[in-house]
Amino acid sequence: MNKPAKLGLDVKAPAKRAEEPPFAVHPGAIAAIVGATHGDPFSVLGPHRVGHDLYEIRVMLPGAASVRALAVEGGDVLCELKLVDPSGFFCGRVSSVHRPHYKLEITWPRETRVDWDPYSFGPVLTSDDFSAIDDVGTSRFYNIFGAHMVEHGNVVGARFVVWAPNAHNVSVVGDFNIWDGRRHPMRLRHETGIWELFVPELPQGQRYKYEMRDHSGRALPLKADPVAFRAEHPPATASVLHGLPKAKWHDDNWIETRGAMQPRKRPISIYECHLGSWARVPEEGNRYLSYKEFGERLIPYVRDLGFTHIELLPITEYPFDGSWGYQPISLYAPTCRFGTPEEFGDFVESAHDAGIGILLDWVPAHFPNDPHGLARFDGTHLYEHADPRQGFHQDWGTHIYNLGRREVMAFLVSNARFWLDQYHLDGLRVDAVASMLYLDYSRRPGEWVPNRYGGNENLEAIDFLRRMNEVAYQTKPGVFTVAEESTAWPGVSQPTYAGGLGFGFKWNMGWMHDTLRYMSKEPIHRRHHHHDMTFGMVYAFSENFILPLSHDEVVHGKGSLLGRMPGDRWQRFANLRAYFGFMWGHPGKKLLFMGGEFGQEREWNHDRSLDWHLLADGNHKGVQTLIRDLNHAYLKIPALHQRDCEDSGFRWLIGDDRDNSVLAFARFGDGPDDVVVVISNFTPVPRDNYRVGAPQPGAWDAIINTDAAQYGGTSPERLPPMHTADEPSHGHPWSLNLKLPPLSTMILQRRR
């Protein structure tokens, strides 16, 4: 009987397949990449040598169905990458002695694409580039930081660079990676706390932000790029890949002419403008005008009225319309509310073509606490002071820059230079300077931290402002800076080498407050407040002053300039015209907020266009005509502008006639015959046979009479010449016997 054979005893077992060795990447590293928490993604992703002639290619592509590595030359398949983690981590091996040069063929659910692997490229920044982080005042900062289109490894793409030294990890997220932080984690350059990434063949126009975790691994809100050159339209908050503006400039003649001028000697009459409410298009949903339309409408309007400059309320990108731009997020991006960066450049050039300079309201004093902004940028108080007694504005709910950090100073000073360099702006008006200079600004005892000497001066802010001004004046001849500084801080507009802050000009807030308080009084009471109109001359030449009637005087319940004038309708207009005449005759450069030039009736509203229909009324049209004539007189007559900032350009003739509320003074230019006389009557009573001393004998013409019929007054359009008599008065051997119209200012020029 045959015994049954043992199962398998005589069957040859099949050869066992050799198992592939496991991939060299550590499972913990894969988990960190998958979780978007790895602090050094280039140590995991991309090509890595794992043997003498063996490389592993590792990629993180969530949602991909399959991935192959293809040779750049010829397109041969180098390897098929294996899905190592279901979240999208792929790994494959290439037999090669040299680092493989490859692209990735990626099969997505709806398409197959061939793309470069960002992690196959080496570092983007060099050691020389690192110094840009604290290189105060050069253009290198904004040429390194932000998102730029560059060529790297013979491939064109986008280079992202951001400073976040305390972040555990940073990824760039955007439209190009469906906002998935696992796809484009960045490389940390440990020397400086800078993160970088080159994304090959990425087209412009992509929205992006930075995804970060703080040093403890906690996820932070997505952050806009601090050096973004373009941003998307608020209320959306992403940055837009754009690079430096590509405007083609043709304003060499303007720049050359500007550089040869001394701003202190020039006529400077500034039209302050909020672009969003200057004019809108009601028939198209009350939309904004575009930069192109402003070039076609605003520039000719300003030129016709004789203003020399337009000062723009901040157009650095800001999230909240109600801040008027004074709480900006992207300091390097002109707001997209009105168009592209290049279109803004075209607007500036159209102004220069018309002989108009452009000034920008610039806000280095503070920044908003919006979660996508600079506040706790990398999880720490990177840009702001950590101590709220130094780093938080109680009045405005904003953060204060830590100007003691050299990197923060470089960020801001380079930004000032950026606007002068890249957009050819003609100057910067710096907002809220007083809040920067004083550590105890708007704070009670115990709410502020003294400086190292125990004082209330912000020494870091002083250093910053001086450096910013030095850079501005050294960079672009002919530009000027202006300080909105509301205290008696000494030397605001004195050179830094003389111990000053280095501004070109300072807003004369005291003059503005005093004179508006006087003008708001009923004329019968003005005799008791006469000093409000004269006190400004006590300090008029202590700084280089601009006389500002700004947006701040027509908001928050203050009403319009016209609305603050007392009396009936005729008197209100007459008061306003007389006040403008006094202002244009007074020493100091001029600034007027939009709408004031035609006597806007209502308080300014940033959500509405100016009331242009008022120009159909003769009184409003008259105010506009007066401003045009005042500006053109100011431009043409040296005595009205050459010595705006010098005491030799002014002499009181009558400063003490409080009973009649009359003021008279002479203005002098550089030439011996450059002289005018300014006389204001601030009561509704005509003054006959009013004698005023004359600096020179002869015939005098009333080049401005704010009571003239063409302005809405009661006097003839032209008054006959007035001749001096050899009768001493007010310290002069000659005098004029005048008839002063009610509520009026006259500017008289000696006939040569």
H, E, C per residue of 250-308: CCHHHHHHHHCCCHHHCCCEEEEECHHHHCEEHHHCCEECCHHHHHHHHHHHHHHHCCC
Instruction: Name the pLDDT band for 476 (thresholds 50, 70, 90).
Output: confident
Mean pLDDT of 335-343: 97
Q: What percent of the chain has pLDDT over 70?
A: 97
What are the beta bridge partners of residue 189? 194
pLDDT exceeds 60 at position 18: no
Phi-psi region of 272 (alpha: psi -120 to 50; beta: other; left: phi over 0): beta
Residue 20 inside a domain? The answer is no
Do 146 and 203 reside in the same domain of the chain?
Answer: yes
Weakest-pLDDT range from 141-145, 214-218, 473-477:
473-477
What rounded mean pLDDT belongs to the chain? 94
Last residue of a domain, one of 103, 120, 137: 120
What pLDDT, in 10s, does the model give residues 227-243?
A: 999 999 999 999 999 99
Do 310 and 413 reside in the same domain of the chain?
Answer: yes
Do 261 and 368 reside in the same domain of the chain?
Answer: yes
DSSP-derived secondary structure letter, 596: G
Tell me which residue has tokens 């003691």: 404
Do 332 and 234 reside in the same domain of the chain?
Answer: no
CA distance 332 to 235: 18
pLDDT score recorded for residue 5: 41
Cβ burial, residue 69 (10 Å; 0-12/13-18/19+): buried
Residue 662 inside a domain? The answer is yes
Which residues touch 361 (CB under 8 Å, ≥6 apart)?
311, 312, 313, 314, 325, 326, 429, 431
Residue 17 inside a domain? The answer is no
In the chain, how many domains are there? 4
pLDDT exceeds 80 at position 19: no
3-class secondary-structure state, position 183: coil
DSSP-derived secondary structure for 643-681: TTT-GGGEEEEEEEETTTTEEEEEEE-SSTT-EEEEEEE
Quote the tokens at residue 312.
Answer: 């723009």
Instruction: Name the pLDDT band for 21 (thresholds 50, 70, 90).
Output: low
Residue 197 inside a domain? The answer is yes
What's 537's domain CATH number?
2.60.40.1180
Weakest-pLDDT range from 424-433, 624-633, 679-688, 729-738:
729-738
> C-alpha dihedral over 492, 532, 564, 596, to 10 degrees?
-40
Sign for the pseudo-dihedral over CA of 238, 244, 247, 252? positive
Rg (CA), the chain: 34
Tell me which residue has tokens 């009105």: 338
pLDDT exceeds 90 at position 6: no
Do 215 and 305 reside in the same domain of the chain?
Answer: no
| Residue-range definition of the domain harbouring residue 460 | 252-507
What pLDDT, in 10s, does the model give residues 241-252?
A: 999 998 789 999
pLDDT exceeds 70 at position 8: no
Of the candidates 293, 270, 297, 642, which has an alpha carbon nearest to the alpha carbon of residue 427?
Answer: 270
Last residue of a domain, one of 454, 487, 507: 507
Last residue of a domain, one of 475, 507, 539: 507
Do 387 and 264 reside in the same domain of the chain?
Answer: yes
Do 618 and 488 reside in the same domain of the chain?
Answer: no
Of the candidates 704, 723, 541, which has an alpha carbon nearest to the alpha carbon of residue 625?
Answer: 704
Quote the tokens at residue 510.
Answer: 């005291």
Do 304 and 329 reside in the same domain of the chain?
Answer: yes
CA distance 649 to 589: 13
CB atoms within 10 A of CB 703: 19
3-class secondary-structure state, position 344: helix
pLDDT score recorded for residue 244: 95
CA distances from residue 324 to 274, 334, 610, 615 in whole angstroms, order as listed = 8, 14, 15, 26
What pLDDT, in 10s, does the model give residues 82-105?
A: 999 999 999 999 999 899 999 999
Q: Could you confirm whether 111 is annotated as catalytic?
A: no
CA distance 422 to 246: 9
Mean pLDDT of 322-333: 96
Q: Could you confirm whether 484 is annotated as catalytic?
A: yes
Where is 413: in which H helix or E strand? helix 406-422
CA distance 191 to 180: 27
Q: At what angle do helices 569-585 and 618-636 cross, to 10 degrees?
A: 10
pLDDT exceeds 60 at position 10: no
pLDDT exceeds 60 at position 20: no
Residue 637 inside a domain? The answer is yes
Mean pLDDT of 527-550: 97
Burial annotation 36-53 (CB, 10 A radius, 16+ → b, else e)? bbbeebbebbbbbeeeee
CB atoms within 10 A of CB 496: 18
Do 264 and 206 reside in the same domain of the chain?
Answer: no
pLDDT score recorded for residue 364: 97
482 near 359, Cβ under 8 Å?
yes
Annotated catalytic residue, options 56, 225, 431, 460: 431
pLDDT exceeds 60 at position 394: yes
Residue 5 inside a domain? The answer is no
What's 393's domain CATH number?
3.20.20.80
What are the beta bridge partners of residue 118? none
DSSP-derived secondary structure letter, 471: H
Instruction: Name the pLDDT band for 499 (thresholds 50, 70, 90).
Output: very high
pLDDT exceeds 50 at position 7: no
258 near 319, Cβ under 8 Å?
no
What's 208's domain CATH number?
2.60.40.10
User: Phi then psi for 174, rounded to 5 degrees?
Assistant: 180, -165
CA distance 417 to 406: 16
pLDDT score recorded for residue 12: 47
pTM, entire model: 0.93
Do 494 and 642 reside in the same domain of the chain?
Answer: no
Do 455 and 583 reside in the same domain of the chain?
Answer: no
Residue 21 inside a domain? The answer is no
Q: How big, in percent rounded to 5, are the helix, strand and coil portions of the chain?
A: 30, 25, 45
What pLDDT, in 10s, does the model give residues 147-165?
A: 999 999 999 999 999 999 9
Length of the chain: 752
pLDDT score recorded for residue 1: 41
Of the candidates 450, 435, 373, which has an alpha carbon nearest to the alpha carbon of residue 400?
Answer: 435
pLDDT exceeds 50 at position 315: yes
Residue 15 inside a domain? The answer is no
pLDDT exceeds 70 at position 56: yes
Peptide bond into 235 cis (omega under 30): yes
Annotated catalytic residue, options 117, 346, 484, 514: 484
CA distance 92 to 374: 40
pLDDT exceeds 60 at position 16: no
pLDDT score recorded for residue 191: 87
CA distance 34 to 62: 9
Give 434-437 contacts, CB < 8 A, sequence gap 24+.
Answer: 434/484, 434/485, 434/486, 434/487, 434/489, 435/365, 435/366, 435/393, 436/364, 436/365, 436/403, 436/461, 436/464, 436/465, 437/461, 437/462, 437/465, 437/485, 437/487, 437/489
Quote the tokens at residue 199.
Answer: 């994304």
Do 381 and 441 reside in the same domain of the chain?
Answer: yes
Instruction: Name the pLDDT band for 595 (thresholds 50, 70, 90).
Output: very high
CB atoms within 10 A of CB 456: 14
∠ CA 261-264-267, rounded to 5°: 75
pLDDT exceeds 90 at position 475: no
CA distances from residue 339 to 214, 274, 288, 680 in whole angstroms, order as listed = 35, 15, 10, 45
